[in-house]
Structure 1
Amino acid sequence: MAVLQMVLLLCAGSSLADDLFSLNVNIIAELQKLKSMNESIQKLEETLAKVLSENEALKTTVQDSQNKLEAFQKENEGKKVAFSAGLLESGTGYTGPISTPKTLVYKKVFSNIGGAYDSNTGVFTAPVKGAYYFRFYGHSHGGTTMAISLLKNGKTQCSLHAWKPTSNGNASNGVVLTLEIGDQISTQLWQNTWVYDDPESYTSFGGFLIFPL
């Protein structure tokens, strides 16, 4: 009887050991799975962080490209400069004579690309540094003296003149000038002289940017 009990106890112990060993094996396997999952999650997080970082870098690149394009377009627009204007907006008449030189204000604007010419003051202001071409025309009637100068920042660059022609008198002049941003160009009627204009715009002023510098 005692031997039988001993055998039964040994059998029961063996079975319990097998169960415990099997349980340990399952726990280890599950732990391995969890570890693998954690590693996969970590890799996914790293990949996601990399994608997000690349996406931010791409956004920055796109924004930089857009800013450069806008700057290029703005700069290109600034290089389109040209204007032309007649002295009188309407009607006919003389300007002058006056006792002191007078800036001529050309009111009849044919074109003003870039908006550099101010029809309220008669002054063209250079929007970009460059080489510019200017030309101006004057008309007078017989027996009247006409004289007009083109000025850069208040200093005479060139002039036109008609001394009491026996009939109608016309004169013109032109010049290429190197201008800095903000330089001002205008025309000035000499003292004690007259200039005439009518709807045909015989007296006019114009210029344009040849190329930027």
Structure 2
Amino acid sequence: MVVLQMVLLLCAGSSLATDSCSPNVNIYAELEKLKNMDERIQKLEETLAKVLSENEALKTIVQDSQNKLKSVQKENEAKKVAFSAGLLESGTGHTGPINTPKTLVYKKVFSNIGGAYDPNTGVFTAPVKGAYYLRFYGHSHGGPNMAVSLLKNGKTQCSVFAWKPTSNGNASNGVVLTLETGDQISTQLWQNTWVFDDPASYTSFGGFLIFPL
């Protein structure tokens, strides 16, 4: 009987010891969960890095597109070239005659799209290479001859002339020229001749870009 009681006590003690050492949480299961979470975090980091890389690439594409758009807009603006101007800004009177050729400066600007005509010098400067149409008119009353030439970089291209008109002398001319960027066009009054102008702008100068080359 005593032996049986001792055996029962030993078994009860052994059971208590086992219960006290066994944890309530499954450590292996929790470690597996942590491992899975770490893998998910790593995948998220990889996905985030990929998204950031794609975003940088997208920014580069957008920037390139904006630069190309600005370049195209600039080219289109450069293709818009046209001007027209009368000789006198106001008032009435003759220019000339003088004993040397004189560049005519047209002060009354009707239009100057592209800003290639300079009303301070009377010179039109081609902003782009292309085919241009240029025309000019000359008017005078009776008296001296009226003669004006169109010049490209200082060289005569075409002219108008009226021989000592008894009343009114009128002449006009126009030409299509191939101009390089920076080529300069002006009109020149011949020596010992004159032109007349008033608010009606009888004497004028103008032109426009037909198409770029």
* Shared fold (TM-score, shorter chain, > 0.5): yes
Distance in 1 between residues matched to 2:6 and 2:154, nearest whole Å: 129
Q: Which residue of 2 aligns with 1:88?
A: 88
Offset of 1:153 from its aligned partner?
0.8
Distance in 2 between residues matched to 1:5 and 1:156, nearest whole Å: 136
Distance in 1 between residues matched to 2:19 and 2:161, nearest whole Å: 123
Offset of 1:98 from its aligned partner?
1.1
Superimposed CA distance per residue, residues 9-46 of structure 1 (whole angstroms, 9 cap, x where no aligned partner): 466446655775x6498111111000001011111111
- Runs of 5+ in structure 1 lacking a partner? none
Are 1:38 and 2:38 matched, yes or no?
Answer: yes
Q: Which residue of 2 aligns with 1:176?
A: 176
- Runs of 5+ in structure 2 lacking a partner? none
Once structures 1 and 2 are overlaid, which stretch shifts more, 22-31 or 50-59?
A: 22-31
Please tell me the residue identity of whatever aligns with 2:32.
Q
Query: What is the alpha-carbon root mean square deviation over aligned residues?
Result: 2.0
Offset of 1:4 from its aligned partner?
5.4
Q: Tell me the matched-pair count.
A: 212
Are 1:149 and 2:149 matched, yes or no?
Answer: yes
Instruction: Answer whether contact 2:79 2:209 (CA < 8 A) is retained.
Output: yes
Please tell me the residue identity of whatever aligns with 1:143.
G
Distance in 2 between residues matched to 1:147 and 1:189, nearest whole Å: 6
Are 1:124 and 2:124 matched, yes or no?
Answer: yes
Offset of 1:156 from its aligned partner?
0.9
Distance in 2 between residues matched to 1:99 and 1:179, nearest whole Å: 31
DSSP-derived class of the 1:58 partner: helix
Superimposed CA distance per residue, residues 158-178 of structure 1 (whole angstroms, 9 cap, x where no aligned partner): 111111122211111111111
Q: Which residue of 2 aligns with 1:53?
A: 53
TM-score (norm 1): 0.91
Q: Which residue of 2 aligns with 1:98?
A: 98
DSSP-derived class of the 1:90 partner: coil
Instruction: Answer whether contact 2:144 2:192 (CA < 8 A) is retained.
Output: no
Distance in 1 between residues matched to 2:58 and 2:19, nearest whole Å: 59
Distance in 2 between residues matched to 1:128 and 1:75, nearest whole Å: 9
Offset of 1:52 from its aligned partner?
1.6
Distance in 2 between residues matched to 1:142 and 1:154, nearest whole Å: 29
Identity of aligned residues (%): 82
Offset of 1:143 from its aligned partner?
2.8
Please tell me the residue identity of whatever aligns with 2:154.
G
TM-score (norm 2): 0.91
Q: Which residue of 2 aligns with 1:196?
A: 196
